[in-house]
Structure 1
Amino acid sequence: MFLANFSLQSPAILTQPTSPERRQQNGVPEILSFPGRVTHDRLANGLRVCTVEASHLHGAVVSLYVRAGSRYETAETNGISHFLEHMFFRGSARYANSFELNRAIEDRCGMLVGETGRDYSLYQVALAPRDLDHALSIMGDLFTRPRFSDLELERAIVLEEILDDFDENGRRINIDDLARELMWSGHPLGFPITGPERNIRRFTRAHVMRHFHRCYGARNMVLCVAGPLRRRSVLPLVRRVFSRLPAGQRLAPSPPPAPAGGPRIRCVRTDSAQTEIQILFRGLADRDAGFPALIALLRVLDDGMSTRLHYRVCDQKGLAYHVNAALDPYHDTSLFEISSACLPEKLPLLVREIMSILAELRNTPVSSDELTKAKRRYARDLEAGYDDVESLCSWFGGTSLFSARPRSPEQRFRRLAAVTPGQIQRVANQVLRPAGMAAVVVGHLDRSLSQKVERILHGSPENR
């Protein structure tokens, strides 16, 4: 029995006229309406089902989102979510081993992929729409009757994966993990997704089964099916294969810790041709009124080779081959990230230039031309997402894992279109504060170079 549903739909098509008929939002043309229909249903066991009807596409995707990841772990269980993700690929009641499972999907020209994040895990199959029934049947069997066999073999694989995070001297050099550990100060958001070697070596089948029963209940999941399909055809298929899932409990992640003082800096020496740096700031949650301005700020800083970060650091001063800014979002917070790599001797100049660019964003409003360009590119990226079936699953299905009614692309656009230069400056002062910064440097460093970089990051007057 389906207990509830609501829908979002538009009769628009991708060939609708673009100009001059399109209305303007603060000087930026409205985006095209999503050319499809989105519905949200709930099975009797609590499984939420998102159906994205997109008749203009030629491929389909089945995505299962689960509240499972390092954020739901303790120091003793850290790594179990990722380990469990690996174990799913060992087969199910119907498929005796990994070969049979993958062959059943690949025979239909699909591929099963899985990934574990900090606050969710994802399992996804992309395939031809005509094979949707087949894919749902496999996914249903996998998550209701997993085998969890060959544990020792999978343990060896995960231990090999963990070695990527260390250099030949046993030092941790995964800069993403090191920076998040520094930022979150012991909170599970700072745990490495793969977990420490000592945990992986002691996990048993009982640990796997306990985490499976804790996280993989219907109420803790969202299933999204997207492509040229119809809800009336999808729901009976989903009900047939997923109704036997136990309801379980919807897990509530531990809230992020209060911001700690800063800047906090860590330098890790390793032998490498380049030295990496990652700078993190505590960002805003999507529900925060300032979040659209944070997105606009990000795009002014780094959205193409003519934006401030690349043009100044790479094109004008030749300090690095690449530099990028990104937002790492969670449902209740985010991280604003800047990353680059360069020759060790260039590092002080690189860091000084990045800090100078950030100071300008705090001190001076962005130009109207920069902001209009950022809004236009954001709108175009939203429209491009209409042709990407995996993006549609993420927009409407993935966000449903934490939000009862995720925003439509049109709503997202209108929020950002209303952003002003003054709002961006206020958010820059709120987020891009040295006092809230965590920075990690990994590479060929001596004590003198490390101290010089630290002084720049601390904003010492002689290094401004």
Structure 2
Amino acid sequence: MNTFERHTLENGLRILMAPMPQATSVTCMIMLAAGSRYETRETSGIAHFAEHMFFKGTQRRPTARDIGMEVDGIGGEFNAFTGKEYTGYYVKCAAEFRDAALDVLVDMLRNSKFAEEEIEREKGVIVEEMNMYYDTPRDFIGGVYEELLYGDQPLGWDIIGRKETVRAANRDTFLGYTDRWYKPERMVVGLGGNLGGDPLAKLEELLGDLPAADTGEPPPLKPQTSDGPRLKIHRKQSDQAHLCLGVPSYPLDHPNRYVLQLLATVLGTGMSSRLFTEVRERRGLAYYVFGINHSYTDAGSLYSQAGVDINRADEAVETIVHELRRIADEPVESAELEKSRNLAKGRFLLQLENPQGMIMFGLRREVLEGEAVDPQELLEGLDAVTAEEIQRVAQDVIGGKGLNLALIGPFDEAEKFERLLS
């Protein structure tokens, strides 16, 4: 039996349900295939800004306090998130208040006022959020790295946008973006946890009359042409250097997705991973270091991120480069592979223990790939990975290709880092 139940309303809006009868709560989430990648240069940051504005009042609930009072009144929590390819809004509450949570959530997305005075006030909030982001190198380094990878196009821009576009936004900017992308074909409603009675009638009542529309697609990714090493330094006075070092990899639906996931786990997940052992435990170069693969629908990157001693940043780069080359040159031993396999599976299963984690997994697959696979398929995919496959994929994405290094720190000269990447 599949973990997820899928339904589609006549207008094309999809509903994904993950019944968990043992739970006492329910997570109601609406996720859309629309994020900062769907912006233009003139509207950069509007997807994230709109996420803020949906909480600022509707016709029935005129203020942010009115919305907050209603969610608090059912003992719930609500929040939202913006990515480059999707945006999500959710309310979590006791199962008995499911319909009230759905009513608030849908009202926010369908009837937000986008009042000019609220927009002007929220601009200050967004600008301060930007300042916090730029002043937090551990967060900002990811943006520097993706700009290096993808260049001057939406996938290479920061989700939070630019101060000039945020300050220029008005009500028409929000309506133009949401009227284009917030349509049934891009929208999936997710319900996870103790669902109580059948929610379909309530969802038909709330969303069945939402007009269908063909939204089209955002511009395709323009591939970056350089095959050699690339370096981007964001100069900043700081007590610690932050870096991302990696290579392009595979998109989300690639046949080797689970091989790549285990490759990244061997490199940089957990306190026994290769990068943690070599960079932190043996050399004392960093407090935090990890390796990860991050994929979009048509692109991806395998990379390591670390915060390191400024005076030993070159040693940290050299160590990470060595570990990337080593996993391409030498097969992973069976004990290390099994440890990493169990770690990847265990982390995934822990995520699925709560309703929010379960429905989040299903929605991301449904929104980005068109199908919410059963979690068992992922576990079986990880079980099937061999050491030979890991080495083959490592050779494909790492071997002989130019490395990409993004750095934040008080560095004036690039030559020593360029030499390490060669």
* TM-score bin (small chain): over 0.9
Aligned counterparts of 2:22 and 2:218: Cα–Cα separation in 1:
37
Contact 1:260–1:436 (8 Å) recurs in 2 = no
User: What residue is the counterpart of 2:104 in the other structure?
Assistant: 138
Quote the Cα distance in structure 2 between the aligned partners of 1:197 and 1:240. 40
Counterparts of 1:180 and 1:140, CA distance in 2: 33
Which residues of 2 match residues 423-438 of structure 1 at below 5 A? Answer: 423-433=389-399, 435-438=401-404
Deviations 1:292-343 (A, max 9, x none): 1101101111222112110111111111111111222223332222111112
The secondary structure found in structure 1 opposite 2:16 is strand
**Structure 2 residue matching 1:224: 3-state secondary structure:** strand
What residue in structure 2 maps to residue 162 of structure 1?
Answer: 130
CA RMSD of aligned residues (A): 2.0
Kindly indicate which of the two structures has a greater share of residues assigned to helix: 2
Show the 5 A alignment for 1:249-264: 249-261=214-226, 262-264=228-230
- Matching residue of 1:322: 288
Maintained 8 Å contact 2:247/2:301? yes
> Which structure has the larger Rg over C-alpha atoms?
1
Structure 1 residue aligned with 2:93, among 127, 131, 137?
127
Q: 1:271 corresponds to which residue?
A: 237
Could you tell me which residue of structure 2 aligns to residue 344 of structure 1? 310
Partner of 1:28: none
The residue that corresponds to 2:206 in the other structure is 241
- 1:131-185 per-residue CA deviation (whole Å, 9 max, x = no partner) reads 10100011121112111121111122112212224459xx9x9211111111002
1:289-328 → structure 2 map (5 Å cutoff): 289-328=255-294
SS at match of 2:42: coil
Q: Map 1:1-400; keep pairs closer than 5 Å.
A: 8-9=1-2, 37-149=3-115, 150-166=118-134, 174-230=140-196, 233-261=198-226, 262-400=228-366
Deviation at 1:259, TM superposition (A): 4.3
Answer whether contact 1:213 1:248 (CA < 8 A) is retained. no
For each residue in 1:222-281, what CA deviation from the matched residue of structure 2 results, as whole angstroms up to 9, or x when unmatched?
A: 110111125x52111111112232223344243333243231101122111101111132
Q: Secondary structure at the match of 1:76?
A: helix
Amino acid aligned to 2:51: E
Question: TM-score, normalising length from structure 2?
Answer: 0.94
In 2 relative to 1, CA 457–385 (structure 1 residues): closer, same or farther, beyond 3 Å? same
- Structure 1 runs, 4 residues or longer, greater than 4 Å off: none
Q: Which residue of 2 aligns with 1:454?
A: 418
Equivalent-residue separation in structure 2 for 1:296 and 1:253 (angstroms): 31
User: TM-score normalized by structure 1?
Assistant: 0.86
**Structure 2, unaligned runs of 5 or more:** none
| Contact 1:321 1:342 (8 Å CA) reproduced | yes
2: CA distance, partners of 1:72 / 1:314: 39
Distance apart, 1:403 and its partner CA: 2.6
1:375-396 deviation line (CA, Å, top 9, x unaligned): 2222223332331211111221
CA contact (8 A) 1:65 1:401 kept: yes
Q: Is the 8 A contact 1:70 1:188 kept in 2?
A: yes
Aligned identity (percent) is 27
